[in-house]
């Protein structure tokens, strides 16, 4: 192999690698900007929503005792008692062992929605008190939904 061929090959590899590196760098920057822009739009949208009122049937639910390893669900009903649509911005459980599901993120006046907290009891023997914070477009922006359960071994 001649020296010229080696240098041309090394140069070509360097050009291709540089192009790939900068392309990946630019595409990641666009993803970050896009995520940031979408979060700003979402925050702006939520701040512009008119406030409404909500009534929660039971903020604390007592679940029946279960054996470890079972999955249980606590259900909460939120009634929109105000004059504007109720918008659930987020639900934030306090433990990764608890998931959630919202029946509708927007509920009109006079209607209701359901939030379900799904708890995985694996490795959680004993009495457990779990909760989640819900943010909505109400004068009381944050609500705490909780449940207590006795997990048997």
DSSP symbol at 82? S
Task: Render pLDDT for 84-103 as a digit per residue (tens, 0 to 9).
Answer: 999 999 999 999 999 999 99
pLDDT over 80 at 54, yes or no: yes
Q: What is the CATH number of domain 54-152?
A: 2.60.40.10
Residue 146: exposed, middle, or buried by beta-carbon count in 10 A (0-12, 13-18, 19+)?
Answer: middle
Note the pLDDT of residue 149: 94
Instruction: Say what percent of the chain tops pLDDT 90.
Output: 61
Note the pLDDT of residue 13: 76
Task: Render pLDDT for 112-129 as a digit per residue (tens, 0 to 9).
Answer: 999 999 999 999 999 999
pLDDT over 60 at 33, yes or no: no
Max intra-chain CA distance, the chain: 83
Contact 13, 21 (CB under 8 A): no
Residue 5: pLDDT band with limits 50, 70, 90: confident
Task: Render pLDDT for 35-49 as a digit per residue (tens, 0 to 9).
Answer: 555 555 555 555 677
Torsion of CA 114, 119, 125, 126, to 10 degrees: -20
Averaged pLDDT of the chain: 84
């Amino acid at each position: 192999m001649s020296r010229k061929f080696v240098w041309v090959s090394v140069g070509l590899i360097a050009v291709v690698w540089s192009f790939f590196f900068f392309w990946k760098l630019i595409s990641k920057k666009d993803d970050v900007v896009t995520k940031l822009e979408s979060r700003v739009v979402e925050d702006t949208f939520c701040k512009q929503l008119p406030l409404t009122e909500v009534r929660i049937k039971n903020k604390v639910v007592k679940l029946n005792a279960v054996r470890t390893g079972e999955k249980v669900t606590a259900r909460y009903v939120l009634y929109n008692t105000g004059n504007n649509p109720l918008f659930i911005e987020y639900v934030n459980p306090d433990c990764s062992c608890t998931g959630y599901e919202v029946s509708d993120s927007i509920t009109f006046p006079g209607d209701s929605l359901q939030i379900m907290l799904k708890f995985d009891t694996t490795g959680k023997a004993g009495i457990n008190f779990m909760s989640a914070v819900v943010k909505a477009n109400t004068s009381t922006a944050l609500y705490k939904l909780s449940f207590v359960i006795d997990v048997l071994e």
